[in-house]
Amino acid sequence: MPQVTGNLADALATVVGSAHVLEDPELRAPYERDWSGRFGAESRLVVRAADASEVAAVLRMCRDSGVAVVPQGGNTGLVGGSVPRGGEVVLSLTRLTSLGEVDMTTAQVEAGAGVTLAVLQKHAGAAGLDAGMDFAARDSATLGGIASTDAGGLVAFRHGTARARIAGLDAVLGDGSVVRRMSGLLKDNAGYALPALLVGSEGTLGVITRVRWKLVVPNPERVAALVPLDSIEAAAELLGILRTRVPSLEAVEFFLPEGLELVSSYLGVDPPVDGAAVYLIVEAAAPFDPTEELAEVLPEDALVADDTASRRRMWRLRESHTEAIAAAGVAHKMDVGVPLTALGEFLAHVPDVVAALAPEARTILFGHLADGNVHVNVLGLDDDGDAVDEAVLRLVAELGGTISAEHGIGIAKAPYLGLVRAADEIEAMRAIKRALDPSGLLNPGVVV
Ligand code: FAD
Ligand code: MLT
Ligand code: ZN
């Protein structure tokens, strides 16, 4: 294996080829700023590895040179964990795109960490199966990033978060050791579950190079509905009814009038409904047509979409929130989880909590209702906006929620971890970090 005897860039080039070591500021730039535009700094260089052995060599060279590494997939993360804080090497995993044949006995497939969600969806579809995960960043978000953040998305209610979809993975840990667990066994409790520890570790313990993904059997008949409601309490009540009386339920998402207005004007469309306090997008899918099952419990003014084109139009109103908000400015994005019993109180209080500290700011709330997962987006904050983040996250903690439901802690929420995790737990996390990444090579400043 090549040794670092002089310049780190030259040494890395012997591993990945000089075309994949980017030192030119213009070439580095897209890797140095996050999707939201809020986070990022200059890197020392960007290195694009092509396989697990290159990843291992890059990590060893960076460790020997005392230079920290920021693992990066599609760079769609929203908590600042995928971009440098200043002077690190960005290790891009997007070239790890190998994709195995779907194993039809287990309904599992092996895929490189750089395979995007959209590619996995297509690959699974060609075998008559489905990825069991979906969200708007599907064309760029990679399986390595999805595993590392334990991403959720639009059908987590039905199929779980990434954790539920991952049957195994390969990774190179911060200390250079390799974890290989690709057997895909349903039952395997031989010792500590290291792959489970890597899921959701946000690039701080190891670099995931390959995953074994559990696919699901798709339901061919699908119907969506846009449901206007008078209050979040009415939404929570309807959710309970849907959950217990609609076995084909796949997703229950929500947005509010401010979001609908912003998205409609961003997309240049007339909102198909208005005048409500809350809007839900409900989707049911089954081997039979679920329209009747759904219609039985929905209010009469719900708009039903039972063909692909009208379902997509409906979903655009929800999925385009992220883009519409980004087009309006650089938002502080807080992805939180709140017990459903406290959701009404949370949504009612958040705008006041924000307004008390930043009267000019604009608060847009939307999210995955069935998961109690609210995306709090605050536009118009200046550089001192961190007080707003803290106040919102404190409210979440007081209500028994979590400061991160699906995006991760990253650097955005690292200062607030103590709001929802006891000192002993954080110390246990630090002990794990020290054990697996003793030199602090991987993603410093993220999580703990
Ligand atoms: P990156 O952004 O590159 O990295 C994310 C984190 O994972 C970083 O800490 C990074 O260091 C680490 N990492 C990346 N690859 C690896 C690897 N191979 N090994 C170790 N660590 C690694 N998220 C949801 O959960 N649900 C949603 O519904 C959702 N919708 C989104 C919609 C839009 C429009 C956008 C822009 C983002 C959305 N996200 C959502 C957030 C984001 O897409 C996810 O967090 C996704 O999992 C990130 O994948 P990525 O490949 O872009 O990872
Ligand atoms: C979503 O659910 O649309 C995402 O998690 C992205 C966001 O929070 O903006
Ligand atoms: Zn989300």
Span 198-250, pLDDT tens digits: 999 999 999 999 999 999 999 999 999 999 999 999 999 999 999 999 999 99
Mean pLDDT of the chain: 96
For the segment 252-260, the average pLDDT, to the nearest whole number, is 97
For the segment 105-120, the average pLDDT, to the nearest whole number, is 98
Tell me which of 335, 364, 369 to substitute to probe ligand 2's pocket, judged by most ligand atoms within 8 Å of the beta carbon: 335
Span 270-323, pLDDT tens digits: 999 999 999 999 999 999 999 999 999 999 999 999 999 999 999 999 999 999
User: Quick check: 77 pLDDT over 80?
Assistant: yes
Is ligand 1 within 6 A of the CB of residue 142? yes
Is ligand 2 within 6 A of the CB of residue 375? yes
Output the CA 255–ligand 2 centroid distance in Å: 11
User: Quick check: 101 pLDDT over 50?
Assistant: yes
Output the CA 171–ligand 1 centroid distance in Å: 17
- Which pLDDT score, from 0 to 100, does residue 1 have? 45
Ligand nearest to the Cα of 170, by number: 1
- Which pLDDT score, from 0 to 100, does residue 6 have? 72
Span 315-326, pLDDT tens digits: 999 999 999 999
Ligand nearest to the Cα of 408, by number: 1
User: Quick check: 382 pLDDT over 90?
Assistant: no
Output the CA 84–ligand 3 centroid distance in Å: 23
Task: Name the residue at shortest CA distance from atom 8 of ligand 2.
Answer: 375
Task: State the architecture of 221-322 in CATH terms.
Answer: 2-Layer Sandwich (3.30)
- Which pLDDT score, from 0 to 100, does residue 3 have? 54
Q: Indicate if 329-424 has the same CATH topology as 221-322.
A: yes
User: Quick check: 384 pLDDT over 70?
Assistant: no
Is ligand 2 within 6 A of the CB of residue 413? no
- Which pLDDT score, from 0 to 100, does residue 4 have? 67
For the segment 379-396, the average pLDDT, to the nearest whole number, is 90
- Which pLDDT score, from 0 to 100, does residue 5 have? 59
Output the CA 152–ligand 3 centroid distance in Å: 7
pTM above 0.85, yes or no: yes
Is ligand 1 within 6 A of the CB of residue 92? no
Q: Three-state SS string across the chain, please? A: CCCCCCCHHHHHHHHHCHHHEECCHHHHHHHHECCCCCCECCCCEEEECCCHHHHHHHHHHHHHHCCCEEEECCCCCCCCCCCCCCCCEEEECCCCCCECCCECCCCEEEEECCCEHHHHHHHHHHCCCECCCCCCCCCCCEHHHHHHHCCCCCCHHHHCCHHHHEEEEEEEECCCCEEEECCCCCCCCCCCCHHHHHCCCCCCCEEEEEEEEECECCCCEEEEEEEEECCHHHHHHHHHHHHHHCCCEEEEEEECHHHHHHHHHHHCCCCCCCCCCEEEEEEEEECCCCHHHHHCCCCCCCEEECCHHHHHHHHHHHHCHHHHHHHHCCCEEEEEECCHHHHHHHHHHHHHHHHHHCCCCEEEEEEEHHHCEEEEEEECCCCCCHHHHHHHHHHHHHCCCECCCCCCCCCCCHHHHHHCCCHHHHHHHHHHHHHHCCCCCECCCCCC
Ranges of each domain in the chain: 8-92, 108-214, 221-322, 329-424
Is ligand 2 within 6 A of the CB of residue 373? no
| Fold category of 108-214 in CATH | 3.30.465
User: Quick check: 179 pLDDT over 90?
Assistant: yes
Is ligand 2 within 6 A of the CB of residue 335? yes
Ligand nearest to the Cα of 76, by number: 1
CATH of domain 329-424: 3.30.70.2740
User: Quick check: 44 pLDDT over 60?
Assistant: yes
For the segment 410-427, the average pLDDT, to the nearest whole number, is 98
User: Quick check: 333 pLDDT over 60?
Assistant: yes
User: Quick check: 365 pLDDT over 70?
Assistant: yes
Is ligand 1 within 6 A of the CB of residue 57? no
For the segment 168-194, the average pLDDT, to the nearest whole number, is 95
CATH of domain 8-92: 3.30.43.10
For the segment 60-73, the average pLDDT, to the nearest whole number, is 97
For the segment 359-373, the average pLDDT, to the nearest whole number, is 96
For the segment 336-363, the average pLDDT, to the nearest whole number, is 95
